Each structure stands twice: as structure tokens, then as C-alpha cells.
Amino acid sequence: MEHYNMNLTLKVWRQKNAESKGHFETFHVKDISSEMSFLEMFDVLNERLVNEGKDPITFDHDCREGICGACSMYVDGRAHGPWQKNTVCQLHMRAYKDGDTIVVEPWRADSFPVIKDLMVDRSAFDRIIEAGGFISTNTGNAVDANAIPVDRFISEEAFDAAACIGCGACVAACPNGSAMLFVSAKVSQLALLPQGNPERKTRVENMVQQMDKEGFGNCGNIHNCEAECPKGISVRNIARLNKELLRAGLTSETVK
Ligand code: SF4
Ligand code: FES
């Protein structure tokens, strides 16, 4: 595709902290290359704001390669912007044309309070992981890879679930603010594999208990989460989470 430059209007959500109200601020950016990433476009704008002695726009980012899940924001009302199965850092300006207006907002979810501008606090996800998103194993020599045979279909399912990057788009896209897709992916990736078996029951109970404690809503089978997930995590995992929870409840394990 031909490279081109464009002038754009940005309407960006500005908010000092979780307590303050917030408002949209309009910026005009010039000569933006179609080859820039969306975050690079913000870098150009922020450099200008700093040079003008103004407060730069706060946004979260880390890898800029679609693997860390930090670059959470709404672009024109879509979680992670207009491209399917894509993160904002991997959204490129060729998605836009000269003269476009782009509206950028933070995740809107009670469990993800705004830290500043476009950056939200997703530590609720960390606490859910701490509640059970791990396996306990003795250290020592690495076990031979072939020692525990795993069915090909099962390993593929576990790998697909493990692709979740914890970005929170599923919560932001859900009218109930449900974290079921995230939690189900994290439960599934371990429940499917033999290594996850010893803590299988307590894991699902503790993670769901923590999810409820954090104030995430219930799943309403709307499936916005799957549609907006940058990693294509399937709602099949939610069915598996419910099954795992039922299975745990039918046995006598005690919740820690
Ligand atoms: S399930 Fe998808 S949308 Fe939700 S946190 Fe994981 S990667 Fe992000
Ligand atoms: S910055 Fe890491 S996924 Fe976007």
C-alpha cells in the first residue's frame, strides 16, 4: 500500500485521577504517516505537548508488540480499535484517512478505575491470578518433555487459552463488566493439562471467589468479549469454567 501523510482531529479523554470527572479534549495533529502505529502517533502528539509546556496524555504501554496487554483503550467506541483480533499498539495509521476524527477513551469498567487519562488500574486481574492462576511444583531438574503425554487436541486448546494477554478488553466490552472470559482462559490453560491437575478444584473456586470480590459482573451470554478480544479467546472457555466450578463444588475440597 502507498505511504501517505494525513491531518487528523483527536478527541481524547482527559482525567486527573479516579475521583475527578474527566472530559474530552480536542487535538489537531498534522503530517501523521500512514506507516506509524497508533501509539507512535500519540508519541508525536505528546512530544509536541511537552515542548509547549502542556501535560502529555497518559496511556499505558509496554511491549508494543501485541503481547503484554498494557495498551488498553477504546478507539471510536471499539476496544483496541477498528481491526479485529488486534491490540492498539498493533493498530496502524493506515486504518485512517486524511481529515478523520478519532475518539479515544479509557476502559469504562467499575473494576478498572482510571489512574490518569487513558490509563486504568487493572490490578484486579493480578489479584485473581494470585488467587490461583499458577501451579505448584518441586524445583529440580527439568522433566523430560515426553514424560507426560498430552493429547494434541487438548494441548492446542490449552495453548489457545494461554494466548490471553490480560488486557481487559473483554471486561470493557461487556455491558455487565464481566471478567468471565479472562478468568475462564486462565483456568482453562491449567485445568486442561496434567500439570494443572493437583490444584484444579481450589484454583477455580479461589479465582472465581476473587473475581466476585473485585466486583466484576455476571456473564450474560452476550459474547461481546469474544468479539473484541485481541487474541480470539473463545467463549468455549466460559462453558469450561462453569463446568470446572460445578465439578469442584460436587467434590469435598475446601476453599482456601
Ligand atoms: S480474554 Fe481476551 S480480551 Fe480478555 S483479557 Fe484475555 S486477551 Fe484481553
Ligand atoms: S503495548 Fe503490549 S500489547 Fe500493546
Q: From first to last of its 256 residues, what are the pLDDT tens digits of the chain?
A: 789 999 999 999 999 998 999 999 999 999 999 999 999 999 999 999 999 999 999 999 999 999 999 999 999 999 999 999 999 999 999 999 999 999 999 999 999 999 999 999 999 999 999 999 999 888 888 778 788 889 999 999 999 999 999 999 999 999 999 999 999 999 999 999 999 999 999 999 999 999 999 999 999 999 999 999 999 999 999 999 999 999 999 985 454 4
| 229 C-beta closer than 6 A to ligand 1 | yes
| Cα separations in angstroms, 159 against 39, 70, 180, 188 | 28, 21, 18, 9
What string of DSSP letters covers 137-149?
---SSPPPTTSS-
The C-alpha cell of 110 is what? Answer: 467499575
Q: Distance from the CA of 230 to the center of ligand 2, in angstroms?
A: 11
| Dist CA 116 CA 141 (whole Å) | 45
Could you say which ligand is closest to the alpha carbon of residue 231? 1
Please say whether the beta carbons of 1 and 96 come within 8 A: no
| 216 C-beta closer than 6 A to ligand 1 | no
Mutate which of 37, 59, 71, 83 to test ligand 2's pocket (most atoms within 8 Å of Cβ)?
A: 71
| Atom 1, ligand 1: residue with shortest CA distance | 182
| Atom 7, ligand 1: residue with shortest CA distance | 164
| 233 C-beta closer than 6 A to ligand 1 | yes
Q: Which residue ranges form the domains of the chain, and what is each CATH number?
A: 5-115 (3.10.20.30), 122-249 (1.10.1060.10)
